[in-house]
Structure 1
Amino acid sequence: MKKISMLLMLLLASVFILAACSGGSTESSGESNGESSGASSSGESSNSEETIKLRVGSGVTQEHFSYQSFFNAWMERVEEETNVEFELHLGGSLISMGQGFEALNDGLVDVVMPLYPLYDTQRFPLSEVSMLPVVDTTVNAASKAYADIVFGNVDIVDGKNYQELEFGDRDLKLWPAPTTEAYSMSFANGQPTSMDDISGLSMRTPGRVLEIFSREIGVNPVSLPATEAYDALSRGAIDGIYFSISDWSSYGLDELFDYTIRGANLGYFSHIFGMTQQTWDSLPADVQDVMERVTHELIMSDQTYQTFRDLEEKDLTANAEVGGVVEHISDQPQDIQDDVSSAMVNTWLEWIRINEENGVPGREIAKIWRDLIIEYGGDVPQEIHNLE
Structure 2
Amino acid sequence: MRSVVFPAFRVAAMVLALGGTPAVAQETITLKVAHPLPETHYSWELGIKKMLDSITEATDGRVQFEVYPANQLGRDAYGLLRSGIADMAMIVPLYAPDKFPLTGVTEFSSFYDTTCEAAEKYWELARPGGALDAAEYGAQGLRVVFAMTTAPQRYMTSSKPVASLGDAGGLKIYAAGSALPRALRAVGSIPISITASELYDSVSRGTVDGALFPYSSTNAYKLGGKLRHEVGGVKFGVSSWFVGMSESRFAALPEDVQQAITAAGLPVQQSFCAWTDEDDENIRQSLIASGELTVSELPEAEVRLWREQLLKAAQEWAAEMDAAGKNGTELLEAMAQAGAGE
TM-score band, normalised by shorter chain = 0.7 to 0.9
Q: How do 1:125-204 and structure 2 match up within 5 A?
A: 125-134=101-110, 137-154=113-130, 161-204=131-174
Contact 1:233 1:240 in 2 (8 A): yes
2 CA distance for matches of 1:94 and 1:333?
50
**Within the alignment, does 1:210 sit opposite 2:157 as a pair?**
no
Deviation (angstroms), 1:145:
1.5
Number of residue pairs matched by the alignment: 332
Cα distance in 2 for residues equivalent to 1:289 and 1:304: 21
Partner of 1:95: 74
Look up the match of 1:124: 100
Q: Does 1:77 align with 2:45?
A: no
Shift of 1:71: 1.5
Query: Does the CA-based 8 Å contact 1:53-1:85 persist in structure 2?
Result: yes
Closer, same or farther: CA 231–291 of 1 in aligned 2, 3 Å: farther
- Contact 2:157-2:209 within 8 A present in 1 as well: yes
Compute the displacement of 1:344 (Å).
1.2
Aligned partner of 1:224 in structure 2 is 194
The 1:220/1:118 distance shift into structure 2, 3 A limit, reads same
In 1, are the aligned partners of 2:232 and 2:298 still within 8 Å (CA)? Answer: no
Contact 2:169 / 2:187 at 8 angstroms: preserved in 1?
yes
> Structure 2: any 5+ residue segments left out of the alignment?
10-20
Aligned residue number for residue 371 of structure 1: 337
| Inter-partner Cα distance in structure 2 for 1:81 and 1:231 | 46
Q: Deviations over 1:88-147 (max 9, x none)?
A: 222333334xx311222344432112x112333333222111112226632222211211
Contact 1:194 1:333 in 2 (8 A): no
Cα distance change on mapping 1:122 and 1:358 into 2, 3 Å: same
The residue that corresponds to 1:4 in the other structure is none
Aligned-residue offset at 1:33: 6.9
Q: Name the TM-score, length of structure 1 as normaliser.
A: 0.74
Report the TM-score, using the length of structure 2 for normalisation: 0.82
Matched, 1:271 2:241: yes
Whole-angstrom distance in 2 between the partners of 1:255 and 1:93: 34
The answer to whether the Cα contact below 8 Å between 2:203 and 2:209 also exists between their aligned partners in 1 is yes
State the Cα distance separating 1:230 from its structure 2 match. Answer: 3.8
One-letter code of the match for 2:242? I
The answer for unaligned runs of 5 or more in structure 1 is 1-11, 24-30, 35-46, 155-160, 377-388
Whether the 8 Å contact between 1:63 and 1:250 is mirrored in structure 2 is no
1:244 — aligned with what?
Answer: 214
Question: Is the 8 Å Cα contact of residues 233 and 303 (structure 2) preserved in structure 1?
Answer: no
SS at match of 1:109: coil
Which residue in 2 is equivalent to 1:9? Answer: none
Larger radius of gyration: 1
Q: 1:250 to 1:85 in 2, by over 3 A?
A: farther
Q: Secondary structure at the match of 1:254?
A: coil
- Between 141-150 and 336-345, report the one with greater CA deviation: 336-345
1:361 to 2:327 alignment: yes
For the aligned residue pairs, the C-alpha RMSD in angstroms reads 3.4
Structure 2 equivalent of residue 86 of structure 1: 65
* Residues 1:254 and 1:103: Cα distance change in structure 2 (over 3 Å): farther
Q: Percent identity?
A: 23
Q: Is the 8 A contact 1:259 1:326 kept in 2?
A: yes
| Aligned with residue 281 of structure 1, among 251, 256, 280 | 251
Render the CA deviation track for 1:330-373: whole Å, top value 9, x for unaligned. x1378964652332122122112211111111111111111225
The answer as to whether partners of 1:69 and 1:305 remain within 8 angstroms in 2 is no
TM-fit CA distance, 1:188: 2.3
Amino acid corresponding to residue 104 of structure 2 in structure 1? E
**Distance in 1 of aligned mates of 2:104 and 2:190:** 20
